[in-house]
Structures are given as C-alpha cells and as structure tokens.
Structure 1
C-alpha cells in the first residue's frame, strides 16, 4: 500500500487550522487517522485555567454549592461576545432567561449560539474567552 503524504500533510494542516487534536478521513477502503498532542504556550495557559476551574469545582463540592449547568452542545472554541471588544453575552450576577445566548462556540468557522437551558442568575463562568471546549463541557452555572 502506498501512503499519500500529501493527504496526511493536508489533514495535519486542518488540525492546526481548526484547533483539533484528532481527525479521521475515510475514502473507499482507505482510512487515515491523524492526531497530535498539542503543547504550546496557549495550551499551557488553558491547562492553567483548567487547573483553576478544577480548584473552583473542588471548592464548590466542599461548600455544597450547586446550580444549573449550561453545557456546550459541540466541540469548538468558546467566545463570550459576538465579536472582539463587544459587550459580553453574560456576566456573573446577570439574570438571564431560558433561550438567551450565553456564549458562542465556533466550530469550523461557523458561529453557534449556545442558549441558556433555563432561567436563572449567572453564578459562575467556567471557561475563558477563546478557550477550546468539548461536547458536554459545562460553560456556566446558574442559580
């Protein structure tokens, strides 16, 4: 079997372009899976933020603080505002209604609005602006 390096290079470029860690391509009987372990300054910042979030979650569980979680419907990059410099969709302490946009998750250059799953007051925002998020990851907590 001859390996087409051009396809692998193109898939690798997509990993960087769309900020992905893994990509799978299938054509007829050929299946190519490309993945990477992304270690960069930006990723180190995200790791630090993740540690802070974990610490906050540990504090929450110690204090028995609970709330309604609004989660990401897709994998992508979370943004707090519709464009750089614009007013944020939500801030801690803001009262929101079911269906209000709480963030945008960008995936493959498509901006997807994330609606609130219920009425409430924003207790905590768990992701930084521009942070990669996973499917089902908690974005905010409501009271």
Structure 2
C-alpha cells in the first residue's frame, strides 16, 4: 500500500492551523490518522487506525461529579441524526465507554465516550453547538 505524503502534509497543516490534537482522513479502504504527541507540539505521529477519542475526567470546581470533556474542536450533537433518540439525558445511568455525544469535525463524526460509570447530572452543551477542545460537555455523578 502506498501512502500519499501530500495528504499527510495537508492533515498536519490542519492540525497546526486549527490547534487540533488529532485528525483523521478516510477514503474507501484507507484511513489515515495524524495526531500530535503529548510531549511537544512539534512532535507528530502518524498511524493508520480507527479513531478512539478519549476524554480525561476531572473534578468540577462548581459542581460535584466527573466532567467529560470534548476531545476535539467541532460541533456537538446529542443524537446520531435529527429526531433520533439522544445518547445522553439528565438522570440516565451510563457505563464507562458508552457514547454520550458526537462531535463532528471536518465532516467526521467522532463518538465521545463516557469516562466513568454513573448518572448524568448535567448536559453542558446544546445540540448543534460549537465546542472547543477540553470544553466540558457533560457532568456524570
């Protein structure tokens, strides 16, 4: 399999331009994921794999519970499509790894998993609202 270096270069430029930590390109049978290393912003790794966005839970200062944060910049969606059942609703019990929201970035739908078992205490974003990297999207108790 031959990898088009031009695509990797373009994806790397998007990472820097939009201050992203990870971006994925899919074309037929090829998936290319480019992500920045956590060590320095100039180190970059390239892998061919499916996306696995992971949120890091932190304790909220204003509310009790665990915050699930957006792993990327994009648009948050509470359901897979308009009119469909929402992934997360206040009071719903969820398990670690269960999808709580989708964040769309560059026409790629990224499922955001819960980082803990618990009950959804608060949904911090509206359907279709833009979100930033690291922004709290739900709080789980």
TM > 0.5 fold call = yes
Aligned length: 85
Aligned to 2:72: 74
Q: Which structure dedicates a bigger proportion of its chain to strand?
A: 2
Q: Which structure dedicates a bigger proportion of its chain to helix?
A: 1
Instruction: State the alpha-carbon separation in 2 of the partners of residues 107 and 83 from structure 1.
Output: 15
Deviation of the 1:85 alpha carbon: 0.4
Aligned to 1:89: 87
Deviation of the 1:82 alpha carbon: 0.2
Q: Give the direction of change, closer, same or farther, for the CA distance of 1:83–1:66 in structure 2 (3 Å limit).
A: same
TM-score normalised to the size of structure 2? 0.57
Give SS of 2:115's match: coil
Gapped regions of structure 2 (runs ≥ 5): 1-16, 20-59
Gapped regions of structure 1 (runs ≥ 5): 1-21, 25-56
Q: Does 1:109 align with 2:103?
A: no
Q: Which runs of 4+ in 1 moved over 3 A?
A: none
Deviation of the 1:23 alpha carbon: 5.6
How big is the alpha-carbon RMSD for the aligned residues of Structure 1 and Structure 2? Answer: 1.9
Equivalent residues in 2 for 1:100-139, closer than 5 Å: 100-139=98-137
